[in-house]
Amino acid sequence: MTQQQIDRARIDALEAIDRAEKNFRYALIGGMAVEVALLAGLFLLADLKQRMHVLLIIGFVGSYSVVLMGLLALGAHVSRIGQRILRAIHETADR
């Protein structure tokens, strides 16, 4: 491979990363909007005087917060891996 082909491959990889990040942000914002709507509907429809409804809300929010923390940890891990890849690309470009 020539240096020009290698540079083109790097540029294509960085553009693909940027597109994936933009799509991820759109999906995240859309998912958050849906979840907020569902949670708002749950609170509006629940009769907070009934203990069963309160228990269901606590269970839902408690289990969902664990899933959310896992997703945040996964996102941080993927971001860290992406930074390592970019650092490796920059180091090879400097050689």
Contact 10, 94 (CB under 8 A): no
Q: What does the pLDDT average to over 34-51?
A: 89
Q: Does 24 have pLDDT greater than 90? A: no
**What's the pLDDT score for residue 95?**
65
Q: Does 56 have pLDDT greater than 70? A: yes
Q: Does 30 have pLDDT greater than 90? A: yes
Per-residue exposure over 16-50, b if at least 16 CB sit within 10 Å of its own CB, e if not: eeeeeeeeeeeeeeeeeeeeeeeeeeeeeeeeeee
**For the chain, what percent of residues have pLDDT higher than 90?**
17
Q: What does the pLDDT average to over 52-77?
A: 88
**For the chain, what percent of residues have pLDDT higher than 70?**
96
Q: Where are the domains of the chain?
A: 3-94
Q: What does the pLDDT average to over 67-79?
A: 88
**What's the pLDDT score for residue 37?**
93
**What's the pLDDT score for residue 90?**
76
